[in-house]
Amino acid sequence: MMDHTRYYVIPGGLILGLGIGLMVGNPGAGMLIGLGLGFLISPLFVLFEKKNNRKKQLENRLERLEKKIENDDHSSSA
């Protein structure tokens, strides 16, 4: 399962940059800065996503192994 929140970083940076640019009186520069920051921050989300996916995979594997051990204990005691 893939988390798609990283796809909102680039347009979010663009909108945020536009808002800040409007406050300081230069919306074009603000949009470009926001867009650039969105592109720079987007790979960080990929790294966190990979880390979380690896953690979930390990948790699922641990759960399967615990169930297998439990089933083996029940079958050996019978």
**Is pLDDT above 60 for 70?**
yes
pTM of the model: 0.58
Look at 51 and 4; give whichever has higher pLDDT.
51
The residue among 32, 33, 30 whose CA lies nearest residue 21 is 30
Instruction: Tell whether the model's pLDDT for residue 73 goes beyond 70.
Output: yes
**What is each CA distance from 66 to 52, 74, 78, in whole angstroms?**
21, 12, 19
pLDDT for 11-63, tens place per residue? 999 999 999 999 999 999 999 999 999 999 988 887 887 777 888 888 888 99
The residue with tokens 């996503």 is: 49
Q: Are 17 and 32 in contact (CB under 8 A)?
A: yes
- Structural domains in the chain (count): 1
- Which residues form the domain of 48? 5-77
Choice between 71 and 1, residue whose per-residue pLDDT is larger: 71
DSSP code string of 21-38 = HHHHT-HHHHHHHHHHHH
